[in-house]
Structure 1
Amino acid sequence: MTCPIILNFDRSVGEINNARTIDVTEWQDAIRFGCTEKKFFHFEKVLQQSLPDKYGTVLMGSGDFHHVSLLLIERLAKQYSASNPIQVVVFDNHPDNMRYLFGIHCGSWISYVANLPFVSHVHVLGITSQDIGLFHFWENRWSPLFHKKLTYWSLDVNVAWAKKIGLSRAFRDFATPADLIASFLSEQYHSTQPIYLSIDKDVLSEEVVHTNWDQGKLQTYHILDTITSIKPRLIGSDITGELSIWRSSNWFKRFLSSLDKQPMISSDDLSNWQQEQHQLNLTLLKALSG
């Protein structure tokens, strides 16, 4: 059994038996939320030197680091190709396929993954964010959607406008989380392509766990059912969505982060909610490795 990896950016991931912790706290301010591509790929070199050849699920802390998933997926280029491709399945309350003019950030990394030659398709499951609604449509990156490399699986977002421009297959809307998961798993039933799974816990309802971001409507069992169904095809996975408090030293990052209106967290809430997060991590890791 391969051991989990904790990329310790923000000290938010609790202690996990048999996990290997890689200290990258010195990179928190540089990488968190977003950074230039030059800085991002500089960090990639550091990461490649730190990671073992084989490892299990990677825990990365706050969803502000979700773009690091791109670097983990890129490592699979050694094993897969356009003639032997993989799919990427992402649980997230946001599309993470938005335009970002200043490099790469936690809300733009999906478009990079969709452009990888060995990735046949990216599925983002559980979106309730208005990022894919009519008033924000121009902020999305259109290439992977029009080229049938990316599908949004959403709840409670009016995406009827997408049908009018030929994107009905890329924008899938459902009445309930159960309908969404059932439709996705039904579509995947006959596929044999390997899958990389990325979980941002902001896809879950606040009744389940609290994160730094606005949250979706899924329950834990929706993710567990999906893992059970696709597990024979899983080749890698990561988890983000921890709670941590951060104030960047960079005024521009502080400004951009403020636009997302992340909630203030008291010290008592932080401690209690991080314990909830820890128990959920253990549940997810058991499902992924058991």
Structure 2
Amino acid sequence: MKTPIILNFDNSVGHIAGALNIDLSAYQEQIRFGCAKRAYQQLADYLTPNLPTNNLGTVLMGSGDYHHLSLFLIERLAKDYSAKNPIQVVVFDNHPDNMRFPFGIHCGSWVSHVAKLPFVHHVHVMGISSGDIGAAHAWENRLLPLYRNKLSYWILNRPVNWPKYVGLMKAFHCFDSADELISAFIAQQDKMALPTYLSIDKDVLSEEIIKTNWDQGQLQTYHLIDTIAALGSHIIGSDITGELSSYHYKTAWKRLLSSLDGQVEIPANKLAKWQAEQHQLNLDLLQLLNE
């Protein structure tokens, strides 16, 4: 068994036997939601000597507000892979995470940075049903990785027409059902076997399955399980995010950005129950990923 890692910013990840728990609470205000590149690098410099160099298991990062730390975890693979020996990155997320963010890097922009890495052949963002890929938000999406065939959106129940007017339909895979989306992706994977980094933001799942801080998608748990099984031994690294946690920012600009993204308060009387459901799902996924 590989050793799971908890990047503990917000105490939202429950106890996991045998996991390495790294206390990062001092970085919560600085890193949560988004941060300057300098702050990101400071955290990376701190984490690098504190992570195992071998047998690294799935990394749990807490709230989806920390999803941009996936970039750091993927960057670490540069020592083992190259443009001639590349990997692919598969991201389950209700949002493209390829949006413009001029202040550094944040949880909705990190995919564009991953797509720039020379050893990353392609990034697949799976299960998007949010309005972030609609025409009203088209200008916010970074188009260059889509044009360069470094990034694909796998979209569910969200009609998207604007890409055909700018020559990008090849990067947009649209489906009417989650079963069709997952089946098409697995069929594509059968034709190409690349080492795969898998990142799971649980906001891709239906609210009937789990509750997260963000607006949620339509996938079921078995869609994640089927994909993990199909990728199998090709998975060379993974992370899980999307836990429930509340935080009140000290800085006004983060309070503003968070409010603009529509994050809502978590009902206090529901938090313990929802976190218990989150915890059980984490254990189920870890059993599959860290075998």
TM-score by length of 2: 0.98
The letter of the residue matching 1:257 is: S
Quick check: 1:86–1:121 contact (8 Å CA) kept in 2? Answer: yes
The letter of the residue matching 1:26 is: A
Distance 1:67 1:77 in 2: 17
Distance 2:162 2:107 in 1: 26
Counterpart of 1:288 in structure 2 is 289
Distance 1:271 1:161 in 2: 42
Quick check: 1:209–1:277 contact (8 Å CA) kept in 2? Answer: yes
User: SS at the partner of 2:75?
Assistant: helix
The answer to whether residue 267 in structure 2 is matched with residue 266 in structure 1 is yes
The letter of the residue matching 2:113 is: Y
The answer to whether residue 47 in structure 2 is matched with residue 42 in structure 1 is no
Counterpart of 2:194 in structure 1 is 193
Counterpart of 2:185 in structure 1 is 184
Of stretches 153-162 and 205-214 in structure 1, the one that deviates more from structure 2 is: 153-162
Over aligned residues, Cα RMSD in angstroms?
0.7
The letter of the residue matching 1:247 is: H
Distance 1:268 1:283 in 2: 25
Quick check: 1:195–1:235 contact (8 Å CA) kept in 2? Answer: yes
Instruction: Please list every run of 5 or more consecutive structure 1 residues that lacks an aligned counterpart in the other structure.
Output: none
Distance 1:252 1:168 in 2: 35
Distance 2:290 2:34 in 1: 30
Distance 2:95 2:224 in 1: 16
The answer to whether residue 95 in structure 2 is matched with residue 94 in structure 1 is yes
Q: Could you give the per-residue CA deviations for residues 86-131 of structure 1, whole angstroms, max 9, x where no partner exists?
A: 0000000000000001110000000000000000000000000111
Distance 1:48 1:109 in 2: 19
The letter of the residue matching 2:65 is: D
The letter of the residue matching 1:48 is: T
Quick check: 1:134–1:158 contact (8 Å CA) kept in 2? Answer: no
Counterpart of 1:242 in structure 2 is 243
Distance 2:264 2:270 in 1: 12
Query: How far apart are residue 42 of structure 1 and its match?
Result: 1.0
Counterpart of 1:204 in structure 2 is 205
User: SS at the partner of 1:282?
Assistant: helix
TM-score by length of 1: 0.99
Quick check: 1:70–1:112 contact (8 Å CA) kept in 2? Answer: yes
Equivalent pairs, count? 290
Counterpart mapping for 1:156-171 below 5 A = 156-171=157-172
User: SS at the partner of 2:18?
Assistant: coil
Distance 1:190 1:173 in 2: 20
Distance 1:156 1:91 in 2: 16
Distance 1:44 1:171 in 2: 32
Query: How far apart are residue 33 of structure 1 and its match?
Result: 0.1
Distance 1:176 1:258 in 2: 31
Which stretches of structure 1, 4 residues or more, deviate above 4 A after TM superposition? none
Distance 1:137 1:27 in 2: 32
Distance 1:58 1:244 in 2: 17
User: SS at the partner of 1:80?
Assistant: coil
Q: Could you give the per-residue CA deviations for residues 215-240 of structure 1, whole angstroms, max 9, x where no partner exists?
A: 00000000000000001100000000
Query: How far apart are residue 164 of structure 1 and its match?
Result: 2.2
User: SS at the partner of 1:166?
Assistant: coil
Counterpart of 1:122 in structure 2 is 123
The letter of the residue matching 2:135 is: L
Instruction: Please list every run of 5 or more consecutive structure 2 residues that lacks an aligned counterpart in the other structure.
Output: none
Counterpart of 2:59 in structure 1 is 58
